[in-house]
Structure 1
Amino acid sequence: MTAPAAPRASTASTAGAPAGAPAGRPRTLAQAYDPRSNAFDLLRLVLAGTVAVTHVMQLALGWQPTIGRTEVGGLAVDGFFVLSGFLITASWLRLRSPGRFAWHRALRILPGFWACLLVTAVVVAPLLAVLGGGSPAAVLTGPGSATTYVLHNAGLFMAQFGIAGLPASTPDPVVNGSLWTLFYEALCYAAVAGLGVLGLLRHRPLLVVAGVAALQLATAAQEATGAQLLPGENLSRLLLLFALGAAAHLVADRVPVTPVVLAAAGASVVAGLLLLDDYRALGAPGFALLLLATAARLPWRPRLRRDLSYGAYVWHWPVALIVLSTPLAGAPVVVVVLAVLAATALVALASWHLVEAPAMRLKGVPSPLRRDPSGIPSGRRRLIG
């Protein structure tokens, strides 16, 4: 992913800090954030690893760790959406073109997703069948087969989670329990594009912030009353976290990151996690602020040459199923987790080099959706000179 643009109303330096502010200590997110030096890539990899660990525990032990009533894996997914909201909003403001924006987003998410679907269907499912004592050919055809798995899910919405009843060791067969979030990620991209086309991201950021505040209040009211006030539990949850990241980018010059504010944010997150069924009703804004401040201010800011977070996220579940179908399943869970993480890292590395990086190199190719004032798509205009 190319480096995101700096927040609209400021730079990443401490220039413009209030008089008397300690040198080198940023007081706003805009002052803390440097698009050329930050820990966003590192945090995304940590979040992907956290999701992987919790899912392996769920598959191996039947449960995953929680904080209060919130699963740790769900908290990590929330973090993904916060960071994505910040970076994707930056992408829209930088690209200034709906076609180019859609092209970039499709190149980042779809090739790796399709490759995962296909390899799961033609390699993972037959291998699981063999390890379970069945025939590899039996999973390729018929109802709920590997073929329908690819066809039904190719549009990004996961309509079929299992393949021919695999894995047979679980009552609700799921060959990849991570991919469902990608559909909601794409919906959030579409929301950014819609707001961008309307000019709200660039010219009416406070109106967007007001909308995010209304969504947060609705989440709080829903928790307080027990009534279903928001449509779609997954959509409202993930849209809220993504929107908080987006809003933080739009008004980064007004988002404080002082120790007192960050301590209050942390307190709100802890209270939400320990006291509420849905911590987001109280702690979502604080969680988003803490995560973004960490990404901006973490002293260790490695610029990773290979972004393995996406590959690790989409691949760890089927890798875990294979590991748990071998004699290694009887080993202590720590050994199983380490084996899955190591194997996932290798698969994610292959995904990066063979699928994701080649696809992202096509970002420079004119999008077939982009038009110039003549009305001719830019890709076609190049072909016809």
Structure 2
Amino acid sequence: MTDMINRNRNNFDLLRLAGAMLVIFFTTYGVMGAYKLDPLFRLTNGVITTGGMGVLMFFIISGYLITMSWDKRRNIIRFLWARFLRLVPALAGVALLTIFIIGPLTTHQNLWDYFTSRTTWGYLSIITVFFPSYHLPGVFIHNPSNMVNAALWSLPIESTMYLIVLVLGVLGILNKKYLVTLLTLSILGAYLYINVHTAHIILPVMSHDIINQLKQYSQMVSYPLYFMVGSIYYLNHDKIKYDMRLVLLASIAWVLSFWYYELLLLTTFICIPYIVLGIAFTSIPYINGIGTKADISYGLYIFHYPVQQTVLNFFSLDTLTLLIATLLITVPLAWLSWHLIENRALNIKNIDIKKLSLKQKFNSGKFQN
């Protein structure tokens, strides 16, 4: 297993990058109020979107790697410190960029009102991860959507799952992998039953727009379950074998289920985690190790939306041109975020912990020179 998680021998970074790109692709439609034109939305009749698929990939990968992180560390402070350094510094960067550069450039209020507004300073709450803020005074008010950074919605859910892993780990429940597996599958079964029951009883009498909204809410509720599926894949990694032939068959089965709502819900849970992790652990020449020198996926995810909104604020563009413009601006921003903020933050995660450990030993009388 140690060899399998070597960053140069897996494709986790590449998959996270692909997930971020899928999200950017979808929000290009979303910021223009045209999310129904998303190809995957149209193919699956609104059950899943390209952006939803990208986020789904993030949750599966996080479930696997975060559970592994606890299993390797088994230290509350180290675990929380590592999560803090991965999420918060870059969020602080996007908050400052948004408040002090994007906001003043795009607000339709005078700068005095903008900077004295409680809403402006309340936007700093995004740094907490758990309390995202989506608006700034007078910003993007003439765009199809006036949300400043809608992509932040998933971070509280994912961070909550981190805490659940921590609690389960501290209580020793993660050591009982069969119990965790059974619990996850039971919740998953209940989720699928409720969705299928709803599809047969409630959806036939509802309007098309309400049905689409319910499908999106259902997809959002499913993300914690995908995280837990990723967790049980890690907990049972010694028993799971990945074969690219099975990955291909799973991919075909998933695509063939696009036109059957109930079947698509089931195949997505069964096939997609295996496909994602199968690709992650497959040795592919010239592909393995992509993204190891600069993991820009998180930067792409948290910076792209305000960039899209800013471009759309000044220019009237079609979706393809907006997508290209977004990437041309966001990729360099994400690269700078990695090298100036994220990587530097991650480099201190062990240094401070070691100092803390020495201090604890000294205070307990166990320190020896």
TM-score using structure 1 length? 0.80
Inter-CA distance 199–245: structure 2 relative to 1 (3 Å threshold): same
What is the match of residue 72 of structure 1?
A: 50
- Percent identity over the alignment? 25
What is the match of residue 39 of structure 1?
A: 11
What is the match of residue 289 of structure 1?
A: 274
Q: Is the 8 A contact 1:223 1:281 kept in 2?
A: no
Q: Is the 8 A contact 1:117 1:149 kept in 2?
A: yes
Q: Is the 8 A contact 1:212 1:243 kept in 2?
A: yes
What is the match of residue 103 of structure 1?
A: 81
**Unaligned segments of structure 2, at least 5 residues:** 203-216
Q: Is the 8 A contact 2:25 2:50 kept in 1?
A: no
Q: Is the 8 A contact 1:244 1:285 kept in 2?
A: no
Deviations 1:129-178 (A, max 9, x none): 2xx6x5344322225x3112214x34223453111142112465200010
- CA distance in structure 2 between the partners assigned to 1:270 and 1:217 by the alignment: 22
Aligned residues: 342
Deviations 1:220-254 (A, max 9, x none): 111121299xxx85774111111111111111222
Shift of 1:199: 2.0
1:336 paired with 2:310, answer no
1:198 paired with 2:171, answer yes
Q: After superposition, where does 1:1-385 map in structure 2 within 5 Å?
A: 6=1, 12=4, 36-60=8-32, 62-63=34-35, 64-65=37-38, 66=41, 67-68=43-44, 69=46, 70-129=48-107, 134-143=109-118, 145-151=119-125, 153-170=126-143, 172-201=145-174, 203-226=175-198, 236-258=221-243, 261-276=246-261, 279-299=264-284, 300-303=287-290, 304-327=292-315, 329-330=316-317, 332-367=318-353, 377=360
Q: Is the 8 A contact 2:60 2:226 kept in 1?
A: yes
Inter-CA distance 60–236: structure 2 relative to 1 (3 Å threshold): closer
**Unaligned segments of structure 1, at least 5 residues:** 1-5, 13-32
- Please identify which structure carries the higher helix content: 2
- CA distance in structure 1 between the partners assigned to 2:176 and 2:355 by the alignment: 26
- CA distance in structure 2 between the partners assigned to 1:45 and 1:176 by the alignment: 19
- What one-letter code is carried by the residue in structure 1 that aligns with 2:280? A
Q: Is the 8 A contact 1:122 1:140 kept in 2?
A: no
Deviations 1:325-365 (A, max 9, x none): 223x33x4322211110100111111112211111111113
Superposition RMSD in Å? 3.0
Q: Is the 8 A contact 1:38 1:295 kept in 2?
A: yes
What is the match of residue 207 of structure 2?
A: none
Shift of 1:52: 0.9
Please give the secondary structure, in 1, of the residue aligned with 2:180: helix
Please give the secondary structure, in 1, of the residue aligned with 2:293: coil
- CA distance in structure 2 between the partners assigned to 1:55 and 1:260 by the alignment: 32
- CA distance in structure 2 between the partners assigned to 1:245 and 1:98 by the alignment: 21
- What one-letter code is carried by the residue in structure 2 that aligns with 1:307? D
Q: Is the 8 A contact 1:99 1:368 kept in 2?
A: no
Shift of 1:378: 6.5
Q: Is the 8 A contact 2:254 2:264 kept in 1?
A: yes
Please give the secondary structure, in 2, of the residue aligned with 1:297: coil
TM-score using structure 2 length? 0.83
